Amino acid sequence: MNEFANKAVENLKAAKLLFENQYYNASVNRSYYATFHAAIHTLSKKGYNIHRISHEATQALFAGELIKRKKEFPAKLKAYLNQLKVIRNDADYELKLVSQKVADRQLRKATEFVEIVL
């Protein structure tokens, strides 16, 4: 399942490039997908069935099993996953634009998440 780890790294690199070029909405989108793919990779590596897993199921399983029950990762990562998804939804589906400050915060969270999880 190394493909999802590769996708996580690729999305994180894309998020950084997009941020540097002031494409903040797109950067937030890629930041979220970096964490989403890192979470899927980790769940798969730990033996969980991730075939066609939804965003909600990924978040629930990662947070419920690997953070809350098994305590394999810091509790703050649960909040990171949720916050990144909320901001990504705003960037993708709302009329308002994501600010540089918000995009920077999301990129930092995604970077930390990927570094810890992978």
Task: Write the pLDDT tens digit of every residue in 46-57.
Answer: 999 888 889 999
Tokens 């399983």 correspond to: 61
- Please list, residue by residue across 52-77, b when 16 or more beta carbons sit within 10 angstroms of its beta carbon and e when fewer do: ebebeebbebbbeebbeeeeebeeeb
Domains in the chain, number: 1
pLDDT higher than threshold 60 for residue 1: no
Query: For the chain, what is the total number of helices (H) and then of strands (E)?
Result: 5, 0
Tens-place pLDDT, residues 55-100: 999 999 999 999 999 999 999 999 999 999 999 999 999 999 999 9
Q: Which two tokens stand for residue 115?
A: 């570094």
| Domain CATH code at residue 50 | 1.20.120.330
Question: What pLDDT score does 51 carry?
Answer: 86
pLDDT score of 2: 85
Give the residue numbers spanning the domain of 94.
2-117
Confidence at residue 25, expressed as pLDDT on a 0 to 100 scale: 98
pLDDT digits (tens, 9 = 90+) for 7-43: 999 999 999 999 999 999 999 999 999 999 999 999 9
* Cα–Cα dist 30/51, whole Å: 21
113, 80 contact by CB (below 8 A): yes
